[in-house]
Amino acid sequence: MRVLSVASECVPLVKTGGLADVVGALPAALAPLGIEMRVLIPAYPGLTERLEGAREIWGERDLFGGPGRVLSGKAAGLDLLLLDAPHLFDRPGGPYSGPQGDYIDNAERFAALSWAGAQLAMGAGTDGWVPHLMHAHDWQAGLAPAYLHYGGGGEGGAAHSVMTIHNVAFQGFAPAERLRALRLPQSQFTSDALEYYGGISALKAGLVTADAITTVSPTYAEELMRPEFGMGLQGVLAARAGDLHGILNGVDDRIWSPETDPDIAPYSAADLNGKAENRARLIAEFGLGHVPGPLAIVVSRLTEQKGIDLLARALPGFLDQGGGLVLLGSGDPRLEAEMIALAGRFPDRMGVRIGYDEALSHRLFGGGDAVLVPSRFEPCGLTQMYGLRYGTVPLVAATGGLNDAVIGTTPASLAAKASTGISFHPVDQIALTGALRQLSRLHADQRGWTALVKRAMKAPVGWGEPAARYAALYRSLMS
């Protein structure tokens, strides 16, 4: 089976979040199941130079304001397709924004990506590779199923389509007057099709036209149909409940492996000595003093969605009781300042690094005792899975994929020797404070803690099961 994956980012070429990890990991995970996947992403600066054996397979003279073409080749072990449209993607900054903020033509930029994907899905490529199915990711590829469904200027949709929601909070909104510029049919500007609160949502367009919808965890699939999580799209998703599938993400255990990670001293569930060495190194790297309690880590965007404001209020008690914290992340300047100030109050117990550093994140997971993920909502989250893989016990809010990936520590789960972390609900300061106390109590019991760490490391977090579910979904659409 041939599948075209359309996305705005892909590890290891370009990444702003977990979307890139999923897009980059799926092709290798699906290959043993008889699925050949090619990935289409924009040609951001520097990417065409990394494409081996590049050849042009599709092009348009006027692709939303300038010439565009798709180059096919190999990069980073991937069968990669790059949408080379310099007027849209050859810019300084990140994929979605520059020094002055979000690009004002993001609607057209990712409409171009979606248009190219739909054309390839309909067999417009000149290399003879025609996909059976197109898999679109998030709002940036949301118009691809719509173009495919409505014909996209070609002979009509020949391929089936799957739309995956990685985070419903980002919807790709554009004003109604851009409908024609986005090459969408005026006749479909209705409430049950393209119209969304008087404008256009690229994500909604994908949700109403794709053959199937997936999201990144079973719990999030259920949450999305409730007003507090659906972000205005709960009615659309409820109407398509029969086509909505929650498939929990996995992590690429070729990259995230404490046994082979080049950034840390190696260790395994059978031999945790390297874990203790990494802990000592991490304390030294951040200039901390003696940390008798659990050394927690945070690797996160610093936003209220991630519960960082709750953490700032709950941490002093945890640090006073002997716990430690090392934080890596950036985001809301107010929350950055709060965390820096807190580290100033507890210089022997807390270290902060504003920004992101991939190698440092591996050192944090290698040396931390626990990873804190107090998100108010979390579609899937990979952080808790990295924690499980590295025996860095996850302390998580019971929401979305956090709820699906971590078995919380209760008297029943302890008796059954099933717990793999700590979970709390509701998502507020009182519950988080209680969870941090529980973390300290569990860590004080060395024997019980070691057993918990080993159970966490044995939890299945790879791509085997998720890939099998995607493959089954693809084949069900084909049949």
Same domain, 350 and 432: yes
Same domain, 291 and 214: no
Mean model confidence pLDDT for the chain: 96
Paired with 300 in beta bridges are 329
pLDDT score recorded for residue 103: 96
**DSSP string over 113-128:** HHHHHHHHHTT--TTS
158 band by pLDDT with thresholds 50, 70 and 90: low
pLDDT score recorded for residue 152: 52
Same domain, 227 and 315: no
Q: Which residues are annotated as a binding site?
A: 15
The distance in angstroms from the start CA to the end CA of the chain is 12
Angle between helices 333-345 and 308-320 (to 10 degrees): 0
How many domains does the chain fold into? 2
pLDDT digits (tens, 9 = 90+) for 63-82: 999 999 999 999 999 999 99
pLDDT digits (tens, 9 = 90+) for 452-478: 999 999 999 999 999 999 999 999 999
pLDDT digits (tens, 9 = 90+) for 245-271: 999 999 988 889 999 999 999 999 999
Same domain, 177 and 56: yes
Contact 419, 407 (CB under 8 A): yes
Supply the CATH number for residue 23's domain: 3.40.50.2000
Q: How far is CA 151 from CA 68, 121, 125, 144, 146, in A?
A: 20, 11, 16, 11, 8
The whole domain housing 10 covers: 2-250+464-478
Q: Which residues are annotated as a binding site for ADP-alpha-D-glucose?
A: 15
Same domain, 297 and 228: no
pLDDT score recorded for residue 153: 36
SS3 at position 416:
coil
Q: Is residue 374 one of the residues assigned to a domain?
A: yes
Same domain, 48 and 110: yes
Same domain, 173 and 281: no
Same domain, 224 and 344: no
pLDDT digits (tens, 9 = 90+) for 391-404: 999 999 999 999 99
